[in-house]
Amino acid sequence: MGLMTFLRNRAGFILIGAIGFAIVAFLVGDAMQAGQPFWSASQKVVGSIDGEEISIDQFGPKVDQSLAQFKQQYGGSGNAQMQAMAVDNVWQGEIASILLGKEYNRLGLTISSDELFDLLQGSNPSPLIVQYFGNPQTGEINRAEVINSLKQQGQNPQLKQQWDMLQEEIEKQALQKKYANLITNSMYVTTLEANDEYQNRNKLASFKYAVLDYASVPDADVKLTESDYSDYYNENKKRFDNPTETRSFEYVSFSVNPTKADSVAVKTKIEKLAADFRTSTNDSLFAAVNSDVKVPYAYMSKGKLDPAVDSVVFNLPAGSYYGPAFSGNSYKLVKVIDTRFSPDSVKASHILINPSSLGGADRAIKLADSLRTLVQGGTSFAELAKKYSVDGSKDNGGELGTFSRGQMVPAFEDAAFNGKPGDLKVVTSQFGVHLIKIEKQVGSSKVAKLAYIEKGLVPSNKTRDAAYKQASAFLNELKGDNFAEVAKKKGLTVGVAERVTPTQGFAPGLDNPRQLIRDAYAADKGDVLKEVYQMDNAYVVARVTDIKPKGALSLDAVKKDIEPMVRIAVKAKMLTEKVNKALEGASKIEQVAQKLGKQVAPVENIVFANPIIPGAAQENKLVGAVFGSQPGKLSKAIDGSQGVYVFSVDGFSNPAPLANAYKQKEIMMQGNAQRSLGAAFQALQDRSTIKDNRVKFY
């Protein structure tokens, strides 16, 4: 609480560049992952970007900061996916920082001292200054507080460090804005383009069509040749550019879920724990020591617990005991310590006093008592808050607004909810000493103070050992390519994870696969990984089945993947021949449909910008051909996404002339500007050499 705490809590955001304009998120929105063999890099190099090496010593702390922020934002202790997100977040930030920094220098973009002054304390403040020093309700900046904080840097090294990071991020944002403006201002939309876009979104077409579905040709009737594969590959080469190296692997899982014997053993332990809990003299300590899930020893409202428990506990009087009850894969034990009716929310103000600045808690409490006496004597609480409080709320007279249970620390919450409007209470929390003024209390509902114990049903060591032995025995039987054969002999299911990237934090069917993925990137195609991997609820044995390198993939590398598309292409040729024969001598769509044994389907009011055929699918090629045709003219065969079509246009309905070309241009400019920013950043990456060795470390 207060500026120091406020900035300290957000230092991670500044450090990793996660606070900033939306343009930053857009520019680095597409992860740049350039997988390279990690064994060629030095021991401490996470990667290099355009010749600049990034050491794990500088990269690691940033990842820790990013992970801490994700934990705070999403909750939990940080799983493999969250770790991967943090690593990727920092890596993208490094790419943006280095490449954009060089681009700024090349273009001569700088932030002058006058511009920086204006961004910090002038009439055009940075969004970060607004965020840190602005009034949340009005958005007004307290410039006096900004100036005062800047002046205090000389006496406070920690504050100076935080301001240095904040100033660096402010300058970075300002440069990003200049760069964005430079690109945006280079864009132009002509009147002809504006009219074309308007027509594409408003001109209506009505037509009739007949179609031969690809599904009408059985797959067994389609014999694919090498020529079919190579033709499709050569026509679609751009689709086979792999942005990063990937690995595919097959695996077998050996479950470590609790057995019936485990369930009996756990239940016996729970019953013993329940008996001890009933006779415990220190309920809060007993619950804290024995529960797998920590529930605050404080008053809580209905709806916070497992529904099966919640519905029962809140109907029990104080002194009652509940459990052991099993729900959601865990046993619950609850003592109802107290129940009462309490406000649903409280509006309060406070003055926060820092004990360390006064020489100890005793002096801080004495000052709070003195301030309480002054308020009781008629002195303005708001004026005292502005003068004595060290919290950011002091500029609003100490007002904290309205809050519900669970939003404040326990000591503060108890004082606010257990008092009554008009009370002045002095309490101590980890933030310091508070003088609280209860302004208003809203609503009333039942709350309960509970001693809560939750114990999960987990597998025993015996169950884990048995699963590990099975996995080890399976691994020992593997010899090269007999993975599927051995699995089938043992009645095991083989899972598949395809195209896994080096830094991916997940894989289908696996809950904690990072070490497995790292080892897969140190192995060759066909290798059985030499380790039994422990997941949350299973042991896993795996084999690398495929490696796709970064760059243009060969036909052999994609042959299996493109087989369905090649089959469709061959079917399209077969059905096109049928349609062409039906077109011979025909002048109307009905004649063609009759020869094909199909019905004519009418379509009305289709627009070019939304090529969806009702009851069919998105058919870009068909709709494009429709808008390029003359009414009444029978089309040639069109191979679409669902089948081969033939059509005849009934007519077009043209919209009224474009009334405001300027507005249309403005809308198009906004879209073009966003796309151009992404394209510009991608161009910087494409012309740079980026080596990514993160898989060596994470």
Q: Does residue 520 surpass a pLDDT of 50?
A: yes
What's residue 622's pLDDT? 96
More confident residue, 308 or 619: 619
Q: How confident is the model at residue 36 (pLDDT cuts 50, 70, 90)?
A: very low
Q: Which residues pair with 252 in a beta bridge?
A: 541
More confident residue, 39 or 272: 272
Q: Does domain 345-442 have CATH number 3.40.50.2300?
A: no
* The two three-digit tokens of residue 508, written as one number: 């289908």
Strand positions, DSSP E, 363-494:
399-404, 424-429, 432-442, 445-456
Q: How confident is the model at residue 136 (pLDDT cuts 50, 70, 90)?
A: low
What's residue 137's pLDDT? 66
Q: Is the Cβ–Cβ distance between 273 and 437 less than 8 Å?
A: no
pLDDT tens, residue by residue, 461-517: 999 999 999 999 999 999 878 999 999 999 999 999 999 999 888 898 898 899 999
pLDDT tens, residue by residue, 582-598: 999 999 999 999 999 99
Q: Is the Cβ–Cβ distance between 59 and 48 less than 8 Å?
A: no
Weakest mean pLDDT among 152-161, 422-431, 534-543: 152-161
What's residue 305's pLDDT? 86
Q: Does residue 605 surpass a pLDDT of 90?
A: yes
φ, ψ of residue 109 in degrees (nearest 5): -80, 125
How far apart are the C-alpha atoms of 272 and 321, rounded to whole Å?
15
Weakest mean pLDDT among 93-102, 230-239, 267-276, 354-363: 354-363
pLDDT tens, residue by residue, 539-573: 999 999 999 998 899 999 899 899 999 999 999 99
| Shared fold status for 246-257+460-549 and 345-442 | yes
Cβ neighbours of residue 576 under 8 Å, at least 6 residues apart? 637, 639, 644
φ, ψ of residue 81 in degrees (nearest 5): -65, -40
Q: How confident is the model at residue 617 (pLDDT cuts 50, 70, 90)?
A: confident
* Interval 210-223 mean pLDDT: 95
Three-class secondary structure of residue 601 per DSSP: strand
pLDDT tens, residue by residue, 413-427: 989 998 999 999 999
Q: Does residue 370 surpass a pLDDT of 50?
A: yes
- What percentage of residues in the chain have a pLDDT greater than 90? 58
φ, ψ of residue 407 in degrees (nearest 5): -95, -20
* Interval 389-405 mean pLDDT: 87
How far apart are the C-alpha atoms of 305 and 293, rounded to whole Å?
11
What's residue 144's pLDDT? 80
* Interval 53-63 mean pLDDT: 92
What's residue 358's pLDDT? 86
Full DSSP string of 295-306 = --SSEEETTSS-
Residue 321 gets the label, from left (phi > 0), alpha (psi -120 to 50) or beta, of beta
* Interval 384-392 mean pLDDT: 88
Hey, CA dihedral for 25, 26, 29, 33, is it positive or negative? negative
What's residue 14's pLDDT? 41
**Diameter of the chain by CA atoms?**
104
- The chain-wide mean pLDDT, for the chain, equals 88
What's residue 38's pLDDT? 41
Instruction: State in words which class domain 246-257+460-549 has.
Output: alpha beta
Q: Give residue limits of the domains in the chain.
A: 2-184+688-696, 204-242+556-653, 246-257+460-549, 260-342, 345-442
* Interval 299-320 mean pLDDT: 86
What's residue 42's pLDDT? 61
Helix (H) or strand (E) holding 346: strand 345-353
